[in-house]
Structure formats: structure tokens, C-alpha cells
Amino acid sequence: MHWRASEDKWRIVIDWPQSLWFAAYIGQREGFELGGEIQASSQAETEWRIWWDNCDMPVYELAAVEKLREFYKAGFEQEVAETRLKLVQKQNTQLDLVNLAKIVKSCQIKMGKTVSDFELELDFVTWPKDYNKSVSNRRIVLGIGYLQPEKLAELNEILQRLILGLV
């Protein structure tokens, strides 16, 4: 589910990485908690947290997570089929309202210079809805709660902060 906004010198890629979406699906169904301050309640949750924190990279030899993956595979595939279009529509509506080109231009004016080449990756996950994690200065993962109309200003602020650091 890629969505791109770009001009000559910049590109913003929005995606729904399946590995993150699947990890979120399992975490939500199992009632797992995110956060280092909360102790995992089981070996499965401990391994799931390792998987969650490394979803972009293969994580091997996590036996409990492998069992969860198999257990939830069919339900996840059904959820993807049922919700994909609705989520993409919400994403497109919200990002049209944000107006990424306008944010980039505003940041350029604030910095008093022309835009440097940059790429920003914005990934969304279905759970937790308020998830907000900067993976790097060029990548952030947000929960789908940021696609709600009442979160427009907050999403705009997040994107401005990220883009200001890149232009």
C-alpha cells in the first residue's frame, strides 16, 4: 500500500509494511503491552517485543512467536482483505488534507533555503492506534489513530518536525 508525494528534490513514501501490520495484529489479539517499563508477562510476549522492535529485519529462532504467527495467519489474511481499502481511503483523505507539498514549502521558507534532496518514509500500523515511534530521522511509524480527522493538527506537527530536520 504505497502512497507517494514527491517533487524534484524530495520524496515522501507512505506504506503499510505487512511485517509490522502482522506483528501489530498478533500483539493486539494477545493483549501484549509495548514499552520497556512494562515487564513482559510471558516468553511469547518477550519474543514478540523482539520481533516488533526488529520488524524490518528477519528475526530467527523465536519459537513462541513462530507458533503465534501460524496460529493467527488465517485471521490476519481475512482482516487485511476486509480493512485494506478502508484504511487506504482514510490515509489518502488525511494526507490530502495535510498537503505534504505545502508542508515542505513552509519548512523551506522557515529554514530560509532551498530544499535539499531528502526522502521520508512514513509507515502506519493498525495497533496501537496512538503509536508514534521515530525509527530514524528519515522514518517514522504511526498508529492509524493519526488518520482520524481530529488528529490532523497533530499529524501535521509531526510531519513538519520531521521535514524541518531533512530540508
Per-residue model confidence as pLDDT tens digits over 12-42: 888 888 778 888 888 888 888 887 678 888 8
C-alpha cell at 62: 523465536
- pLDDT of the residue at 95: 85
Q: Which has more confidence, 116 or 135?
A: 135
Judge whether residue 156 has pLDDT over 90.
yes
Judge whether residue 152 has pLDDT over 90.
yes
Most confident of 5-14, 30-39, 48-57, 123-132: 123-132
- pLDDT of the residue at 100: 86
- pLDDT of the residue at 59: 54
Judge whether residue 80 has pLDDT over 90.
no
Judge whether residue 145 has pLDDT over 60.
yes
Average pLDDT over residues 70-81: 80
- pLDDT of the residue at 2: 54
- pLDDT of the residue at 158: 95
How sure is the predictor about 159, in pLDDT bands with cuts at 50, 70 and 90? very high
Quick: pLDDT tens for 94-108: 888 988 888 988 988
